[in-house]
Structure formats: C-alpha cells, structure tokens
Amino acid sequence: MTGFFADLPSGESWWQIFRLFLGINAIILLAEVLQRRFSLPTEFTRKLVHLATGLAAVGSLWWVDNAVLLVLMWTSYALLSLVFIRRGLLESLHGRRRSYGTFFFPLAMALLSIWVWQDHPRIFMAAVLLLAIGDPLAALGSRLPWQSRPFSLTGDKKTLAGSALLFAASLVISVGVLTSSLIAAPFNTGEALAIALLVAVPVTLAEALGSRGSDNLLIPLVAALVLLALVRGIVTPIDFGYMLTGSALAGLVSLRVGFLNPGGAAAAFFLALFLTGFGGLAWIVPMLTFFVLSSLLSRLGPLEESKGADIAAKGHRRDHIQVLANGGLPGILVILNGLYPNPIWYPLFLTALAAATADTWGSEIGMRFGHLPRSILYGRILSPGQSGGITLPGTLASLGGALILAASALPFHGPSGLFPFWAVVVAGFWGSILDSLLGATLQVQFSCQTCGKITERAQHCGQETRQYRGIFWMDNDLVNLLSILGAAITLAVYL
C-alpha cells in the first residue's frame, strides 16, 4: 500500500483501465445474451461471469499500471451492483435468489487493489484465483451425485463435497502461485506446500461461513491475510499451525459449552486466529476476559419473561453476527497491529473491548437484578429488556465491566500507565451509554399484535410483529457495533 497514491494516472493509464472495463462489460453482456437466448440456468451464467471476471482481475497485474483507477473501477461496479440487485436487473447474474455476491466480488477486488495489488502482486493473484476458481468448485459440490448431506453455519446450505473441492483447489492454486516465477522469486515446493495447507484450512471455513454471497468477500480477504502473515514472516508456518489448532479448539469448546452456536464458533475461530497471529498475549487476555466473563454472566440462570427474555432479539448463545458486532473492530485493530505496527492500535483495541464489555454487563445485570428500567432520554418506565432503558445496577455493572477489562491489560503495561488506563475506562463506559442512546432513538422496535409487548423480535407469540419505531435495518447488533466504534473514535480524538 506504500505506493498506492505515488503516481497520478497518465493518459495511457486511463486507456488501460478503459480496455479492462470494456472487457468485463463484454463478459457480462455475453452471459446475459446466453442466458436469454438459450435459457441457461442463472447459476451457470453467474459462475461463468465470476470465473472470467476473476481471471480479468488477475490480468490487471500486467494490463494496468495504476492502482487508483483500478480501485475506482471496482468500486463503481460494487455500487452499480447494489442498484441492479434492488431493481432485479441482469438476470444472468442475479436471478430469483437474493444474493449480494455480485456486490461483494467487486468490493473484494477494490480492497485487494488498495492493499496488495501493488506491493504484493503474488498474494493478489493467489487470493483472486482462490475466489475465481475455488468458489465455483464449492458450488459444484452441491450438484455431485455423491454429495453428502448439506450443512449450514449461517443460513446458506453447504456440502462437505463442496468444501473438499475448495480445499483441494486451494492447495493446487496456492502451490502453483508460490512456485511460479511469473511475478516474484519462487518458493521451493516443500515450503509452498506447507503454506498452501495453512491457507486452505481457513479459506475453506471462510466459504462455509459465508452467506448471501458474502463468501465472495471472505475467501479472498482471509487468503490474503494468511498469505501476508506467512510470506512476510510475521509468523512461521509451524507456529501458524499451532495457532490453527488452538483456534479450532477454542471454537469447539465454546460450541460445546453453549456459549456460541456453530456460526458463532466459526467466527470465533477466525478472531482467535488473528489474535494469536497478529497480536500476542497482551491482546489475547483482554479478549478472553470479555468473552469468558460475559458468557458466564449470560448463563447465570434462565431469564424470566417478566425480565425481558422474550423481548431481546436473541438468546444467550451468540451467533456469528454477534461475534462480529462485538469482536469485529477489535479483530481489525489487531490485524492492523500486525501489518502496520503503531502504538495507537492497542488502546483503541482495549477501548472497543471495554465498550463491548460494558454494554454486555449492563444488559445482563440490569435485566436480572435491576428494577423496572427507565428511558435514558425521557426517564419514563419501560418494560424490562426494552431498548433505551437503563437501571442503576446495570449502569454500575457497565462501569465495572469497562474497569475490569482495562485492568486485564495492566500486567502487560504496568500500573503507571504506558497506555491511558482511565481514558479506556471512561471511553468504554461511554460506549455503553451511546448504545442506550441509539437504542432509544434509532434501533428498530416491533409491536406484538397479540400481547401488545414492544420487542426486538420480528416474530412474537407465533405471529409477525409490526414495526413500532426506529429504522428497520438498525437492529441490536448494528447498534452494538456503532457504539463500540463510537467509543474507539472518542479515545482516538482524546489521544
């Protein structure tokens, strides 16, 4: 990324990107004509465009000399794709199945073009080929006569046959790219095979975790991250193998004891992998403090309906969305620490976790031990568990959660403060307040037409609920993410 803005586009650069743009449009037009003329299955024409566009993206390493124009092109495709999806255009790509794969594909290309296209072209090539070739093979697995029973981690149905094909393709592609001298000096076969094995495991799980087309984003980004860590020597292959094993065990244990559902366990695997690969003990201990203590709090005992158990959108077993909402920003910060070291990442990481801890503890303690909550805006009494409500026990628990999370990092930096301890506590506590403010104003709430309760659930008493207030897409998970982000931004401004 060092030379991304180094050179302004020349006239020749504009012609290069224009030719690539025309070529990709020709691929899409051909697929549309074939689909309409011969009534080809949408799944076939979509995968045809997927493969051809991926190969064109790899070709950009030789055909295009300016990364800025490349990013602009892929970003334009991503935005146009959203319009086409909403309006049902381009049947050869979208069909009747609602998927955002055609949005995530160019988004992934744009991110990779910013990140590795110029400085690490071999990693760009491997990541794109894994998506262009491996993902269609995974889809092919569901159509094989010897396919196994489908499974689902996050909604989309996957098969073991498809996962096996993707794993094999990941091995072949990674070894082929790493041992090739087309772009850079080749690795020896043994070293390339070791790296390929370590890439294939998380890439295969990333595809299984994806739903509604998000695997088009997850596969190349996970591949690029793992390859960067291994090729740049941030972690050795042997150590990374241990990290894979430990992360898998952590996910399985969390699933076994009921802290997470299968999708949540898969997301936790990646979070643990990046914590160990790009961070270290100073990063792992605060994350464990948040995860273990918050999970135990949620298991104190069954929450009665009178205490809001039937109002909250989800139960105590966290899914992948909840894991990402609470751990996504900390995960990004630990990756940034590994790739682009800077002292600011660690206090921001702690603040994000402090905000997540404060919010979780405030909710769990407030609903179990608090009296009727009051609106944070107007002071009127609310139903237990209703968004935007606060109680004294819950507020004190929020402050205590932020304090304990920050204290978990003291053994690694000393009590005298190589990081702003109290600033982390205050910003983390502010995150929980912000969560309540967003819950009281923007978060969607539904009204049950049978019992009249206000709830976060789209279904209640066995029937569809009606929107009561808030923005329809602003659910509790997004509110959690925004409050954590707000806490981190607050600390960044302070620093």
What is the band of 306 on the pLDDT scale with cuts at 50, 70, 90?
very low
pLDDT band at 57 (very low <50, low <70, confident <90, very high): very high
pLDDT at 305 over 50: no
User: What are the domain boundaries of the chain?
Assistant: 281-495
pLDDT of residue 127: 97
pLDDT confidence bin for 299, thresholds 50/70/90? confident
The 3-class secondary structure across 327-369, one letter per residue, is HHHHHHHHHHHHHCCCCCHHHHHHHHHHHHHHHHHHHHHHHHH
pLDDT in tens, 79-112: 998 888 887 776 656 656 667 888 999 999 999 9
**Which secondary-structure segment (H or E) carries 268?**
helix 262-278
Query: How many Cβ atoms from other residues are within 10 Å of residue 328's Cβ?
Result: 18
The conformation of residue 466, written as its DSSP 8-state character, comes to E
pLDDT at 445 > cutoff 70: yes
pLDDT, tens digit, for every residue of 425-438? 999 999 999 999 99
Does 2 have pLDDT greater than 70?
A: no
Query: How far, CA to CA in Å, does 377 sit from each of 434, 437, 467?
Result: 11, 7, 20
The CA distance from 369 to 353, in Å, is 23
Of 168-172, 321-325, 413-417, the range with the lowest mean pLDDT is: 413-417
Distance CA 343, CA 467 (A): 45
Let me know if 380 is exposed, middle or buried by CB neighbors in 10 A (0-12, 13-18, 19+): exposed
Separation CA 393–CA 373 (nearest Å): 10
- Comparison of pLDDT for 91 and 125, the residue scoring more: 125
Q: How large a percentage of the chain has pLDDT more than 90? A: 53
For residue 323, the Cα-to-chain-centroid distance in whole angstroms is 9
Other beta carbons less than 10 A from residue 191's beta carbon: 15
Tally of residues, the chain: 495
Checking if the pLDDT of 394 tops 60, the result is yes
pLDDT at 377: 86
d(CA 55, CA 23): 11
For 23-39, what is each residue's pLDDT tens digit?
Answer: 999 998 888 888 888 77
Do 135 and 216 meet the contact criterion of CB atoms below 8 Å apart? yes
Q: Which strand (E) or helix (H) includes residue 93?
A: none
pTM of the entire structure?
A: 0.88
Q: pLDDT at position 451, please?
A: 76
Average pLDDT over residues 364-383: 82
446 bridge partner residues: 455, 467
**Nearest CA among 28, 24, 144 for reference residue 92:** 28
- Alpha-carbon torsion (37, 38, 43, 49), positive or negative: negative
Is the pLDDT assigned to residue 467 strictly greater than 80? no
| pLDDT class of 307 with cuts at 50, 70, 90 | low
